[in-house]
Amino acid sequence: MLFTRILAFGNQEIFLISCWVAVLLLVIWSISDLMSNKDMILGEKLIWLLVILFFPIFGTLIYLYYGRSDKHLSDRG
């Protein structure tokens, strides 16, 4: 692969970088979804934002499972 020759990355490094990029994109998507949710008041948004930022993997998954309101989801479709 081109990255392994130019940057001297092995398969493990490329896998770990890919995982962190996926987590970063998931966190950015969940924060974007949180900020666009008009059903939540500012205090709730702040608490969810802190949970997502302090616990990026688990906080994001918990928000995506419990934090999104049904009304917010139905407005998007």
> What secondary structure does DSSP assign to 19-70, as a single string?
HHHHHHHHHHHHHHHHHH-TTS-HHHHHHHHHHHHHSHHHHHHHIIIIIS-H
Domain spans, the chain: 22-68
- The pTM (predicted TM-score) of the whole model is 0.76
pLDDT digits (tens, 9 = 90+) for 26-71: 999 999 999 988 888 999 999 999 999 999 999 999 998 888 866 6
3-class DSSP assignment, residue 11 = helix
